[in-house]
Amino acid sequence: MRNGQKERVPFEIGADILLKYSLPEKSEIMMKLGRLIRDARRKAGLTQQELAILSGTSRTYISRIENDRSDVELATLKKIIEIGLGRQLEIKIK
């Protein structure tokens, strides 16, 4: 347990228990992605609502991405970047 106490559990841990005791992992790339989208949106002079309408998503979803509270699917990311922001999405593997 987080408090240092030990607890016996069955071999298979249910998803509900695993979620209850796990900490969400914030990957550096997702945090950077959120900042990049926010900066590009502001530079384009768009509100979150305007970007959401252009890209076919919701303002809440844009906010969650910008604040590192949601993962984003590649197809949705492409819509946000290319349709919503009018930019080009480029992905590299180094």
Q: What are phi and psi of 27, to 5 degrees?
A: -80, 150
What pLDDT does residue 4 have?
81
pLDDT class of 37 with cuts at 50, 70, 90 = very high
What domains, with CATH codes, occur in the chain?
A: 26-84 (1.10.260.40)
Note if the pTM is more than 0.95.
Answer: no
Q: pLDDT (tens digit, 9 = 90+) per residue, 40-59? A: 999 999 999 999 999 999 99
pLDDT class of 13 with cuts at 50, 70, 90 = low
The string of DSSP codes covering 5-55 is ------SSPPHHHHHHHPPPP--HHHHHHHHHHHHHHHHTT--HHHHHHHH
